[in-house]
Amino acid sequence: MKTGIVVRYIRLSKKLKSKNVYTNILSRPAVSRFENGLSDTTTEKLFQILTNLNISLDEFYFIYNDYKVENDSDFFNNYSQAFYLNNLARLNELKVITEQKYRLTNQVKQLHYSVLCDLTASYISNLPINMENLKVLNTYLLECEEWTYYELVLFTNSLDFFPEELILLLYKRTKKKLEDFSQLKKYNNEVFSLLSNILVVFITKNDTEKCIYFYNELKKSVSETNNKMYEKTMLTFFKELIGIMKSRKLNSQNIEKIISLFTYLDMPLKKRERQ
């Protein structure tokens, strides 16, 4: 019932009248019950109300959640920080927390988070990974027919553990879906991250052919009108690396310039490597 109370708060804060928001959606008595938390409405009507409030679903949920980012973002922020710092203690702590949440809620994402922490801890410790845990992730991603942002982020963070064949298969299966969602900004950002990390995988393997393919995929993911310095600089960085791989001649001057630029901007390039 909290939904209507939050809608009322947003409507009044935007100085919108009831007729501006509810015309042809809810009757006057229904509006009163809804905004006072005495009744709910259908999902379809809520979408119409949010459109009239000039607010996105993400923005509405952020306000509904007391101006807090949902837990998924919290987990991946904590996980990424622990990964890049090689903080095994923090990874194990996150593993225990997510295991407990999974037992309490049966939310499959909590199982994935726990498995991801376990695999990452083994990876950075240069220890054999738990194949049953790996199976949890690859089975889920292979069987999931309708990928959303969650699956995209999970795939990006699982690349270190997957064999080359699986990476290629999953990317092939999801490519069309990623194109469908390209209108959403956060998808574009994550697609760039995914393709960059896949490129690193094949650069490490010295596979020039696949590097060229994924470089072109990466290039297509960035609009010609996109002025994001980071993405365009990374494109140049990968182009120079692939040029070295193709010519077999080391000319690191341009690469060193790019690395110096990232260092100057306090944006050091992250390396995923075994210890």
In CATH, what number is assigned to the domain containing residue 43? 1.10.260.40
In CATH, what number is assigned to the domain containing residue 226? 1.25.40.400
| d(C-alpha 52, C-alpha 34), whole Å | 16
Q: Which of 17, 49, 64 is the last residue of a domain?
A: 64
pLDDT of residue 248: 66
| d(C-alpha 54, C-alpha 49), whole Å | 9
| d(C-alpha 115, C-alpha 119), whole Å | 6
Q: Which of 143, 176, 202 is the last residue of a domain?
A: 143
Q: How many domains does the chain have?
A: 3
pLDDT in tens, 93-113: 999 999 999 999 999 999 999
Give the pLDDT band (50/70/90) at residue 274: very low
Give the pLDDT band (50/70/90) at residue 179: confident
Domain that holds residue 138: 70-143
Please indicate, yes or no, whether residues 135 and 243 belong to a single structural domain of this protein.
Answer: no
| d(C-alpha 144, C-alpha 151), whole Å | 8
Q: Which of 64, 93, 118 is the last residue of a domain?
A: 64
Please indicate, yes or no, whether residues 48 and 132 belong to a single structural domain of this protein.
Answer: no
pLDDT of residue 116: 98
Please indicate, yes or no, whether residues 201 and 265 belong to a single structural domain of this protein.
Answer: yes
Q: Is the dihedral of CA 88, 148, 130, 164 positive or negative?
A: negative
pLDDT of residue 225: 44
Q: Mean pLDDT of all residues in the chain?
A: 87
Please indicate, yes or no, whether residues 194 and 252 belong to a single structural domain of this protein.
Answer: yes
- pLDDT for 64 beyond 70: yes
pLDDT in tens, 203-234: 888 899 999 999 999 988 876 445 576 777 78
- pLDDT for 269 beyond 60: no
Please indicate, yes or no, whether residues 210 and 256 belong to a single structural domain of this protein.
Answer: yes
Please indicate, yes or no, whether residues 55 and 8 belong to a single structural domain of this protein.
Answer: yes
- pLDDT for 43 beyond 50: yes
Please indicate, yes or no, whether residues 121 and 152 belong to a single structural domain of this protein.
Answer: no
Please indicate, yes or no, whether residues 191 and 83 belong to a single structural domain of this protein.
Answer: no
